[in-house]
Amino acid sequence: MEKETVQVLQRKPEETENKRKISSKNNIKVKKINNFLALLVILQFDCIQYLCVCVCVFAGDVEMDIEYLYEVVPQLSRVFRITDKIGEGTFSSVYLGEAQMTDGRREKFALKHLIPTSHPVRIAAELQCLTVAGGKENVMGVTYCFRKEHHVVIVMPYVEHQPFVEIVGTLSFEEVQHYIYHLLKALKHIHEFGIIHRDIKPTNFLYNRREKQYALVDFGLAQGTPDTQIELLKVVKAQKAGGGSTGRSEESQGKRALIPLPPNTPHHTPHTSTKPAAKRPCPPPSRTKHTKELMGLCKTSRSVFGERNLNNTNPPKTTDKAPLLKPTKTEDVAARRFVSTKRRPLPARSSTTGQKPKPTSLNPALTCSCYMTDHICNICLSRKQQVAPRAGTPGFRAPEVLTKCPNQGTAIDIWSAGVILLSLLSGRYPFFKASDDLLALTQIMTIRGSKETAQAARKFGKAIVCSRELPPLDLRILCETLRGIRPCGGDSLPPEFRTSRHPADTKQEQTGPTPGPSRGTGWDSVPDHIYDLLDKLLDLNPATRISAAVALQHPLFKDFTE
């Protein structure tokens, strides 16, 4: 065996001589190939080295964060052994800890460390939501709370769960039914207490697929309805009305009727985003989150829309279609200055407390000439921006939030649940992905129709101008095409969706017909009931949008038991 090995490794003299006789042209090719392979080896080595360093730094960051938590809240070390950091957001970080119970067993808990700049009333309101409404009906409860100076740690039961992005395309239809049922069940429960969650999304509704467990978490952005049973949510609202984070009351917006600006106002309007109910500045980006992004560990599924701006005012020359929203035109200031005092909108009467707000309609004769047109004059640009709650996650905000409707209720949570169901049925997450509210509203119009969106906006006193009419899409055709169940026909979907189809559909076109979905998953016989429910959840008008209590009585859930 050793002799054979030696013979293989030894190079014969004639072989060496033959290699010397290679032509110069081939020598150049060999050198290029060798250089290329060497470059690949170097790059591969560098990547491996870099990844190793990143993993070490990532692990070191978690260790440092845990040590820091022990330092700022020392009483934790006497109760918990913190083992990992399992979540991180703008306003908090979540850790996994173990505690020794009195019966000798060890139990896992989730420890939520709030950023020190959180307002005390906001922290207390979140705790009250968890204690009053939590612990039942798929709503997370609270076990204990630690405080050391301005550091607060909320201890909650730990629910082992799978990331939504990893399972959204693998769930069976029956699992989707149960998922949306239990989400609506949790929403019905908190809405009965007068709690508006404001941040309904998959990452805030934990799902243990194996144990069939569900938990609605994170009430950090919660607001109260006028009849809320959470007393501290009333305090949060009163502080905001008295000059809190926005300095102006939400109710005060009804004292004057504002002319809704046409949607496309780039480069001229000041920043229109308002802050959430509780002003909580973003902390500096943590090392852990940055390292994950460098390593590519943050898995994200491709959204339907992506970040492509459908309202680009400079479309490519190759396209002959008109943009959805026309470019802004600004009139000369001097030419319009004389009407600045004559054509300001007249103040409207404020709606009394306890009554439903009436839609504000203005006589165009009392306004400037740009009202309901595709351009904005300097008079409108000089007006103060309207303040309205807009807390939430992009992609899950309801139309009334995007259009700055000052009166928002529990219907905004129902819309977010509809977006989640849309992702479950289409197998796409996130479904909507927009960089600003205007683009988000345009994406909604692409699904639900531009005329329908404008008609619904008029119901709550808003005006939407769109230069191109977008017809509403059939939700079943949309979801089945994106999932790959239905082949994409010529005009079944608009061009915006043809590049976002399910990979299985694209593969089918390339390789020919393939077998349909597995019968075991149930996607080959989806009833119309679920698309009817989806249509009601995504009702553009919050006044007619289905409630969680009514949704639970839908025929889709006729065989479900409490």
Residue 148 DSSP SS3: strand
CA atoms within a 13 Å half-sphere pointing along the CA-CB vector of 38: 6
Q: In a 10 Å sphere around its CB, with 0-12 CB exposed, 13-18 middle and 19+ buried, how is residue 343 labelled?
A: middle
- Tell me the H-state helices in 302-449: 333-336, 378-381, 399-402, 411-426, 437-448
Q: What sign does the CA torsion over 261, 263, 264, 265 have?
A: positive
Q: Where are the alpha helices (DSSP H) in 162-278?
A: 164-167, 173-192, 231-241
Between CA 108 and CA 93 the distance in angstroms is 16
How many angstroms separate the CA atoms of 141 and 133, rounded?
8
Q: Angle 190-197-286 (CA atoms, 0-180°, nearest 5)?
A: 135
Nearest to 554 by CA among 538, 535, 530: 530
Distance CA 532, CA 536 (A): 6
Q: Which residue has the tokens 């002319």?
A: 259
CA distance 177 to 155: 31
Return the ∠ at Cα 436 (arms to 428 and 122), rounded to 5°. Answer: 90
- Identify the H or E element spanning 205: strand 205-208
Chain mean position to CA 42:
39
Among 199, 218, 437, 505, the one annotated catalytic: 199
3-state SS, 83-106, equals: EEEEEECCCEEEEEEEEECCCCCE
Does the annotation list 507 as a binding residue? no
Among residues 163, 159, 158, the alpha carbon closest in space to that of 202 is found at: 163
199 is catalytic: yes
Catalytic residues: 199
Binding-site entries: 112
